[in-house]
Amino acid sequence: MLEGQTAEAVLADKGYDTDSIVHYVKHCMKAVAVIPPKRNRIVQRLYEKDTYKMRNLIERAFNRFKHWRRIATRYDRCDSIFISSIALAAIAIWA
């Protein structure tokens, strides 16, 4: 899922707190893994709590896009038309 992707930071919830994912993000992607540790983790890792709070903004944006049926069900077969639909929805939501 992350192969070939580039980012400065990867924000994820506790479900993705595995050593293999954190190692891949840090070493292969050269990014910061902003993933809070699970409660039952023996060695609790530190993470940037302020950066993790930005994840909430991203989740709310996806929630707003899901209200647009064309985007939620992806009727468009062509990628460029689908991306244009997302841009149109973003303009309507935040303008």
Residues of 42-79 as b/e, b for ≥16 C-beta within 10 angstroms?
Answer: eeeeebeeeebeeeeeeeeeeeeeeebeebeeeeeeee
pLDDT tens for each residue of 26-68: 999 999 999 999 999 999 999 999 999 999 999 999 999 999 9
pLDDT tens for each residue of 71-92: 888 888 899 999 999 999 999 9
- What per-residue confidence (pLDDT) applies to 75? 85
- What per-residue confidence (pLDDT) applies to 89? 93
Rounded CA-CA distance 35/10 in Å is 8
